[in-house]
């Protein structure tokens, strides 16, 4: 075991300390110090993570490090343990690397905010939870991180807590995640019931050896339950509607939590559980179908959104759909690869959007922007790179990872391929639209805004430049052999037992790859000009009509959920309160009390103080007794 690997507990510990310092001293620590503490904590984790990454490259097997016994009760043994392997070390790099850049960015972006120290405390707590999520050596530790990141997401979406809409969005995010979490919990309990363990090593070991025989249905159910958890966290149909609302949070939060890291937790979970999913074909198909459907649905919505962050949010949902498609067709490495490239370009796009919003004085409506390329040159260039990467411009990171997904989908089922390709076209369309509306044409904002347009300070532009570089070349770790690459990531993740989609052998796929390269270049050119024409500014004077209106209103999914779930449940609670509780159960209880009282009232009347009545009752009683005795004797005789 390498020396960095032994120190793995420090990786989550630093952000935890950062959280404690900033969290307990939020009143006394000055804003800038809070930012520095927060950033340094993540930087320290990043350094160790890099060390771990290089050690894992040469290490033979996954390393498990047990800190203490978390829950020990009879046969139930759950250690608080970390597993260091290729998969977790890759995620460590993504989380701490991008996390650090976003912390640096935030020191400038949040500088005007009074709650900046608190913001960094939350951000550190998030990084801590996310690191627990990927480091855990069993599902329960993953679950701890899983709910922890949900909490931080809740706190950060509702960071500006005075605004009721924002806190509503925060609540919605948490509750929708909880729905998924219930699935996760049931999945865990099923694993425990059937295998008596939650540890990855033991569970997957048993699965591989086939020592415990369970019917395929059980595999499917466990896998589906876990996937329900992933639907919530990674915003897939039907639990995706919280993510666009989550844009209420500060923009760095959107970049870190709602684009680069937290929302990819579901992908991590399924990649981690690949052994299980390979045994559960039905669940796997479900993952693929939900993934491709989500990708398409979200892309159509993104076409007509006018809020810069909403466009990016739907784009994130759509890209997550791509990742699940990859997982569902068995290309686990490809899914993880797309997590990585997406983390680069989507964090870049969000941070770029933040820079734009910053310059525009808080404006997020792209119909009121335009022509910013000259005023914000660095933001423009980097944003352009982000757009090219997400659209799949040849040899950017997005191109390499997306192509791999499409090829894997084609090998599995051509229908997936065509739907996904169509979605990729839509992706390019809405991203170019965004680019044109924000950076090209004339400025459509107010005079006041025009005066204050300025490029952001270095703390904002430097992360943009680094991320832009990564978006351009980050995919080179996985250049297909066809173009002279050597699939580094495939080999690396194979150490963690993650199977890759291999396109080395099949010549038919080679042809496809060339076709896609050509198709992409031609397609992007067409899209570039078509979008420029179709979505020119004058195209949307006023309201959208017809089908465009449906898309602009997000297919009315929120309204439908409201009508068929939220409101009926509210009504149901109200009915329970009024009828079942007050009139029903409590009515019965009070009724019993009243009956007793009423009965006593009646019986009390017997004691009316009239001697004659008493004598009458006495005689009546004697007669009755006599009669009873008489008959009793008769019967017994």
Partner 1 sequence: MILILLIVIPFLSGLISFALKGNGAKTMALLGSLATLAFAVAVSCHMYTGDTISFTKPWIPNLGTQFSLFSDGMSAMLCLLTAIVTSVVVISQWNKPVDRPSAFWGLMMLSQAGLMGVFLAYDALVFYIFWELALIPVYFLCSIWGGERRIPVTFKFFVYTFVGSLLMLAALIYLSIQTPGVNSFAWGNMVQAGRSLSPLNAHWVFWLLFIAFAIKMPVFPFHTWQPDTYEQSPTPVTIILSALMVKMGMFAVLRWLLPVVPDGVSYWANTVVIMSVTGIIYASFLAIVQTDLKRLIAYSSIAHMGLMCAAAFSNTQVGMHGIMVQMFNHGINITGMWLIASMIEERFGTRDMNRLGGMASTTPKLAIALVVIALANIALPLTNGFIGEFMLFNGLFQNPSNYHITFMVLAGLGVILGAVYTLNMVQRTAYGSAGEAAIVKDLSINEFIAITVVILFIVVLGIYPQPLLDLTSGVANMLVK
Pair of tokens at residue 484: 């002279």
CB 348, min distance to partner 1, A: 32
Minimum gap (Å) between residue 136 Cβ and partner 1: 11
Q: Report the nearest approach of partner 1 to the CB of residue 128 (Å).
A: 10
Does position 203 bind partner 1 by CB under 8 A? no
Closer residue to partner 1, CB minimum distance, 190 or 267 = 190
DSSP one-letter string for 347-379: HHHHHHHHHHHHHTTS--BGGG---TTTTSHHH
Stretch that binds partner 1, among 153-161, 253-261, 497-505, 600-608 (CB under 8 A): 153-161
Q: Residue 518 or residue 568: which is nearer to partner 1 going by CB?
A: 568
Interface residue with partner 1, options 581, 591, 599, 614 (CB under 8 A) = 581
Contact 81, 136 (CB under 8 A): yes
Phi, psi of 70 (to 5 degrees): -80, -60
Binding of residue 229 to partner 1 (CB under 8 A): no
**31-35 LR contacts (CB < 8 Å, sep 24+):** 31/111, 31/116, 31/117, 32/107, 32/111, 33/117, 34/116, 34/117, 34/119, 34/120, 34/121, 35/103, 35/106, 35/107, 35/110, 35/111, 35/116, 35/117, 35/120
Of 150-158, 266-274, 459-467, 535-543, the segment contacting partner 1 by CB under 8 A is 150-158
Sign of CA dihedral 47, 48, 53, 57: positive
Q: Does 181 bind partner 1 (CB under 8 A)?
A: yes
Say whether residue 74 binds partner 1 (CB under 8 A): yes
Given a contact cutoff of 8 angstroms between Cβ atoms, the answer to whether 112 and 229 are in contact is no
17 binds partner 1 (CB under 8 A): no
Question: Please, what is the minimum distance in Å from the beta carbon of residue 246 to partner 1?
Answer: 15
* 320 contacts 299 by C-beta, under 8 angstroms: no
562 forms part of the interface with partner 1 (CB under 8 A):
no
Which span (183-191, 265-273, 376-384, 493-501) binds partner 1, by CB under 8 A? Answer: 183-191
**Footprint of partner 1 on 49-68 (CB under 8 A):** 68
- Integer Cα distance of 405 and 411 in angstroms: 10
Q: Which of 77, 168, 218, 553 binds partner 1 (CB under 8 A)?
A: 168
Minimum distance, C-beta of residue 137 to partner 1, in the bound complex (Å): 15
Q: Which stretch binds partner 1 (CB under 8 A): 311-319, 349-357, 493-501, 574-582?
A: 574-582
Q: Judged by CB under 8 A, which stretch of 74-82, 303-311, 428-436, 515-523 contacts partner 1? A: 74-82
The token pair at 507 is 């010549």
**Least distance in angstroms from the C-beta of 52 to partner 1:** 23
Of 182, 293, 479, 551, the residue at the interface with partner 1 (CB under 8 A) is 182
Neighbour tally for 603: CB within 10 Å: 9
- When asked if residue 216 is in the footprint of partner 1 (CB under 8 A), the reply is no
Toward partner 1, which CB reaches closer, 54 or 572? Answer: 572
Q: Does 185 bind partner 1 (CB under 8 A)?
A: yes
Rg (CA), the chain: 31
Evaluate whether 408 touches 291 at the Cβ level (below 8 Å). Answer: no
| Residue 399 contacts residue 341 (beta carbons within 8 Å) | no
User: Applying CB under 8 A, does 570 fall inside the site for partner 1?
Assistant: yes
Q: How far apart are CA 502 and CA 513, in angstroms?
A: 13
Q: How far is the CB of 253 from partner 1 (least distance, A)?
A: 17
For residue 535, give the H/E element and its range: none
Among 64, 167, 201, 306, binds partner 1 (CB under 8 A): 167
Pick from 574, 624, 627, 630 the residue near partner 1 by CB under 8 A. Answer: 574
Cβ neighbourhood burial of 464 (10 Å; 0-12, 13-18, 19+)? buried
By CB under 8 A, how many residues form the interface with partner 1? 50
Q: Choose the stretch contacting partner 1; rule: CB under 8 A; options: 72-80, 93-101, 199-207, 616-624.
A: 72-80
Longest dimension (CA), the chain: 119
Pick from 215, 197, 218, 193: which is nearest to 206 by CA?
197
CB 179, min distance to partner 1, A? 6
Helices 507-534, 397-412: axis angle to 10 degrees equals 120
Question: 542: alpha, beta or left, given left = phi > 0 and alpha = psi -120 to 50?
Answer: left
Which listed range, 44-52, 140-148, 303-311, 452-460, lies at the site for partner 1 (CB under 8 A)? 140-148
Residue list 423-452, contact with partner 1 (CB under 8 A): none
Shortest Cβ distance from residue 310 to partner 1 (Å)? 23
Q: Which of residues 497-556 bind partner 1 (CB under 8 A)?
A: none
Kindly write out the interface string for residues 261-290 of this chain, putting x where it contacts partner 1 by CB under 8 A and - elsewhere.
Answer: ------------------------------
To the nearest 10°, the Cα dihedral for 510, 320, 43, 39? 150
Which of these segments, 156-164, 348-356, 470-478, 620-628, binds partner 1 (CB under 8 A)? 156-164
Other CB atoms closer than 10 Å to residue 74's CB: what's the count? 5
Classify the phi-psi angles of 362: left when phi > 0, otherwise alpha if psi is within -120 to 50, otherwise beta: left
Binder of partner 1 out of 9, 458, 556, 572 (CB under 8 A):
572
One residue of 2, 10, 50, 70 binding partner 1 per CB under 8 A: 70
Residue ranges of alpha helices (H) inside 281-392 are 281-302, 308-328, 332-359, 377-391
- The nearer residue to partner 1, 179 or 551, going by C-beta atoms, is 179
The reply on whether position 624 binds partner 1 by CB under 8 A is no
Q: Is 219 in the site for partner 1 (CB under 8 A)?
A: no
Q: Does the footprint of partner 1 cover residue 193 (CB under 8 A)? A: yes
d(CA 336, CA 343): 11
Residue ranges binding partner 1 (CB under 8 A): 27, 68-76, 140, 143-144, 147-148, 151, 154, 158, 161-162, 164, 167-168, 171, 174-175, 178-179, 181-182, 185-186, 189-190, 192-193, 569-570, 572-574, 576-577, 580-581, 585-586, 589-590, 593
């Amino acid at each position: 075991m390498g020396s960095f690997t032994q120190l793995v507990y420090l990786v989550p510990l630093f952000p935890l300390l950062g959280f404690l310092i900033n969290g307990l001293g939020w009143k006394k620590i000055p804003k800038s110090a809070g930012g520095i503490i927060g950033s340094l904590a993540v930087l320290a984790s990043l350094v160790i993570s890099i060390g771990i990454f290089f050690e894992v490259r040469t290490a033979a097997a996954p390393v498990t490090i047990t800190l203490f016994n978390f829950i020990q009760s009879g046969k139930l043994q759950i250690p608080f343990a970390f597993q260091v392997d290729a998969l977790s070390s890759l995620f460590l790099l993504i989380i701490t690397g991008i996390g650090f850049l976003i912390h640096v960015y935030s020191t400038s972006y949040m500088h005007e905010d009074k709650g900046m120290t608190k913001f960094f405390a939350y951000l550190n707590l998030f990084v801590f939870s996310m690191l627990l999520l990927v480091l855990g050596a069993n599902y329960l530790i993953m679950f701890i991180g899983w709910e922890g990141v949900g909490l931080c997401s809740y706190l950060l979406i509702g960071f500006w807590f005075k605004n009721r809409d924002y806190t509503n969005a925060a609540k919605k995010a948490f509750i929708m995640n909880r729905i998924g979490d219930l699935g996760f919990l049931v999945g865990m309990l099923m694993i425990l019931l059937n295998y008596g363990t939650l540890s990855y090593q033991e569970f997957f070991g048993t699965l591989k050896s086939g020592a415990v025989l369970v019917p395929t249905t059980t595999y499917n159910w466990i896998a589906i339950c876990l996937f329900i958890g992933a639907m919530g966290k990674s915003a897939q149909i039907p639990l995706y509607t919280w993510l666009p609302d989550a844009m209420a949070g500060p923009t760095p939060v959107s970049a870190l939590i709602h684009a680069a890291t937290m929302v990819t937790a579901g992908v991590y979970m399924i990649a981690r559980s690949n052994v299980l999913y390979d045994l559960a074909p039905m669940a796997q198909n479900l993952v693929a179908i939900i993934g491709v459907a989500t990708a398409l649905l979200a892309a159509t919505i993104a076409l007509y959104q006018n809020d810069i962050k909403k466009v990016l949010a739907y784009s994130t949902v759509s890209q997550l759909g791509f990742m699940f498609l990859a997982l569902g067709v068995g290309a686990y490495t490809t899914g993880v690869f797309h997590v990585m490239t997406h983390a680069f370009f989507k964090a870049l796009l969000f941070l770029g959007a933040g820079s734009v919003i910053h310059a525009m004085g808080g404006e997020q409506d792209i119909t009121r922007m335009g022509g910013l390329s000259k005023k914000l040159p660095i933001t423009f260039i980097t944003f352009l790179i982000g757009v090219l990467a997400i659209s799949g411009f040849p040899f950017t990171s997005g191109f390499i990872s997306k192509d791999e997904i499409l090829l894997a989908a084609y090998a599995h089922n051509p229908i997936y391929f065509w739907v996904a390709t169509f979605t990729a076209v839509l992706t390019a369309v809405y991203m170019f639209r965004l680019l044109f509306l924000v950076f090209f044409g004339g400025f459509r904002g107010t005079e006041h805004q025009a005066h204050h347009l300025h490029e952001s300070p270095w703390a904002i532009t430097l992360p943009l430049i680094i991320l832009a570089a990564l978006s351009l070349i980050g995919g080179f770790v996985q250049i297909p052999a066809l173009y002279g690459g050597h699939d580094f990531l495939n080999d690396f993740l194979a150490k963690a037992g993650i199977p890759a989609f291999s396109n080395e052998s099949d010549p038919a796929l080679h042809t496809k790859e060339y076709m896609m390269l050509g198709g992409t270049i031609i397609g992007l050119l067409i899209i570039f000009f078509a979008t420029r024409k179709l979505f020119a500014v004058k195209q949307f004077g006023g309201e959208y009509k017809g089908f465009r209106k449906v898309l602009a209103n997000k297919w009315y999914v929120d309204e439908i959920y409201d009508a068929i779930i939220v409101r009926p449940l509210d009504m149901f609670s109200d009915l329970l309160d009024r009828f079942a509780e007050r009139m029903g159960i409590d009515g019965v209880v009070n009724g019993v009390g009243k009956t007793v009282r009423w009965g006593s009232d009646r019986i009390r009347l017997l004691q009316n103080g009239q001697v004659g009545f008493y004598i009458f009752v006495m005689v009546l009683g004697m007669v009755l007794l006599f009669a009873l005795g008489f008959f009793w004797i008769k019967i017994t005789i």
